[in-house]
């Protein structure tokens, strides 16, 4: 079959809450078939614009196969460049499957009627940052059928202040949030804690001990994740494992090759590639295969918008991954932007969208005009 030509690429930024901008790449072929990918980079949406323009200049007029292979397996790739490349790959997978009148998941080998287990990330919907506010969000997620929830409780702690009086005070506040959240769990339900790299290595294992004492079973991103951190991560993992916790991380690495030193060294129990940064669907599949070969779990990072969620569901189905993050109830726009075609989770799991491609559309018309910016 002839390789269709890419007619256009568009980058759209959509402000969905005062704190969140989701960014989407739409790829349109010369026959009118369109696919969509997500590149959301919360801390700097505008940093996507320059690498997007470079990608558009290179790809418009090229073939679809070029877009499918666009992510470079470069461990030093800047995250904004990786995000655009990953979104291009997602959009190309979506368009290719739509042309074949097939879903991305089934086209790439997933069994039909897959169900993907989810856990609820409740951090962004928890605007009341008191311990009671965290407990309320956890109750809501549990009532919705989830059996595991994740929080990021250590607001304003940094590696620079963590050892001082202010850092100790902020850490204690975070631990109070953890305790209040754990108190609403029933037997068999789990609490995950994301530290967002806030602790120096000398303190991280002690923080892990404190979390384990409060019932946490998943300890995520305690320290910065350069390769020089691998010995510290192995030590932290061993101590966490001895206390019944798994160590998880690597949510922002930009390519499969960036994961390999950590996987080879056994630095984590769980690696968390993000379809937005790690090379799209193909990147997730490569990382999952490498992790599986070393007895390490792969549970993709997925805390943003509906296209990332649909692409992540497809990747989990193809690779038969055991667990996927879901951003719980940040905004109703999560489902509205998908045009009502994204399945709502039930009993802590999700079926895949029906239909071709990723099975969803992108309807930015549900937003006010001043909340949408299209990059020219």
pLDDT digits (tens, 9 = 90+) for 279-326: 999 999 999 999 999 999 999 999 999 999 999 999 999 999 999 999
pLDDT for the residue 1: 61
The answer to whether residues 223 and 236 touch, using CB atoms and an 8 Å cutoff, is: yes
Q: pTM of the prediction?
A: 0.97
Question: b/e per residue, 95-107, with b = 16+ CB within 10 A?
Answer: bbbbbeeebbbbb
Q: Looking at domain 107-351, which of 3.90.550.10, 1.50.10.10, 3.20.20.120, 3.90.1300.10 is its CATH number?
A: 3.20.20.120
With a cut of 70, list the residues of the chain below it in pLDDT: 1
Q: Domain 6-101+365-375: which CATH class?
A: alpha beta
pLDDT for the residue 198: 98
For 102-105, the CB contacts below 8 A with 24+ separation are: 102/356, 103/314, 103/352, 103/353, 103/354, 103/355, 103/356, 103/357, 103/358, 103/359, 104/281, 104/311, 104/314, 104/357, 104/358, 105/313, 105/314, 105/317, 105/318, 105/352
pLDDT for the residue 111: 85
Residue 96 C-beta-side C-alpha neighbours within 13 Å: 23
Residue 292, token pair as written in the block: 């599986």
| Residue 193, number of CB atoms within 10 A of its CB | 29
Q: Terminal CA-to-CA distance of the chain, rounded, Å? A: 32
Please state the domain extents for the chain. 6-101+365-375, 107-351
Q: How far apart are CA 97 and CA 108, in angstroms?
A: 9
Give the C-alpha distances (Å, rounded to integers) separating 269 from 173, 248, 259, 266, 308: 27, 6, 13, 7, 23
Q: How far apart are CA 199 and CA 309, in angstroms?
A: 29
Residue 102, token pair as written in the block: 């097939």
pLDDT for the residue 13: 98
Pairing of strands 115-121, 324-327: parallel
Q: How far apart are CA 333 and CA 82, in angstroms?
A: 25
Q: How far apart are CA 192 and CA 335, in angstroms?
A: 25
Residue 6, token pair as written in the block: 């890419």
Q: How far apart are CA 150 and CA 194, in angstroms?
A: 7
Q: Tokens 């998941």 identify what position? A: 105
Give the C-alpha distances (Å, rounded to integers) separating 228 from 80, 104, 199, 201: 23, 37, 15, 11
Q: In this predicted model, what pLDDT tens digit does every residue of 194-248 receive, in sequence order? A: 999 999 999 999 999 999 999 999 999 999 999 999 999 999 999 999 999 999 9
Domain 6-101+365-375 shares a fold with domain 107-351? no
């Amino acid at each position: 079959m002839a390789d269709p030509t890419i007619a256009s690429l568009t980058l759209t930024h959509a402000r969905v809450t005062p704190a969140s901008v989701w960014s989407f790449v739409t790829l349109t072929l010369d026959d009118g078939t369109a696919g969509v990918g997500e590149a959301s980079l919360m801390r700097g949406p505008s940093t996507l614009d320059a690498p997007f323009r470079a990608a558009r200049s290179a790809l418009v007029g090229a073939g679809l196969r070029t877009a499918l292979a666009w992510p470079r397996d470069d461990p030093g790739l800047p995250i904004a460049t990786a995000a655009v490349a990953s979104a291009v790959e997602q959009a190309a997978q979506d368009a290719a499957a739509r042309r074949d009148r097939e879903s991305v998941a089934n086209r790439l080998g997933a069994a039909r009627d897959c169900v993907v287990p989810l856990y609820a990330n409740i951090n962004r919907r928890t605007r009341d940052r008191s311990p009671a506010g965290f407990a309320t969000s956890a109750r809501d997620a549990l009532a919705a059928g989830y059996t595991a929830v994740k929080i990021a409780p250590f607001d304003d702690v940094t590696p620079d202040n963590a050892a001082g009086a202010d850092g100790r005070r902020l850490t204690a506040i975070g631990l109070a949030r953890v305790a209040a959240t754990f108190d609403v769990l029933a037997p068999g339900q789990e609490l995950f804690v994301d530290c967002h790299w806030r602790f120096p290595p000398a303190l991280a294992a002690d923080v892990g001990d404190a979390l384990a004492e409060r019932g946490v079973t998943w300890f995520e991103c305690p320290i910065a994740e350069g390769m020089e951190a691998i010995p510290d991560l192995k030590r932290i993992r061993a101590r966490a494992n001895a206390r019944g916790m798994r160590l998880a991380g690597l949510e922002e690495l930009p390519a499969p090759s960036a994961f390999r030193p950590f996987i080879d060294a056994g630095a984590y129990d769980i690696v968390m590639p993000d379809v937005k940064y790690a090379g799209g669907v193909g990147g997730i599949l490569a990382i999952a295969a490498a992790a599986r070969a070393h007895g390490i779990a792969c549970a993709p990072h997925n805390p943003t918008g509906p296209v990332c969620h649909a692409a992540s569901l497809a990747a989990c189905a193809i690779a038969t991954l055991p667990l996927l993050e879901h951003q719980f109830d940040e905004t109703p726009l999560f489902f509205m932007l998908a045009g009502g075609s994204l399945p709502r989770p039930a009993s802590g799991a999700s079926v895949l969208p029906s239909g071709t491609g990723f099975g969803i559309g992108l309807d930015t018309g549900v937003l006010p005009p001043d909340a949408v910016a299209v990059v020219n």
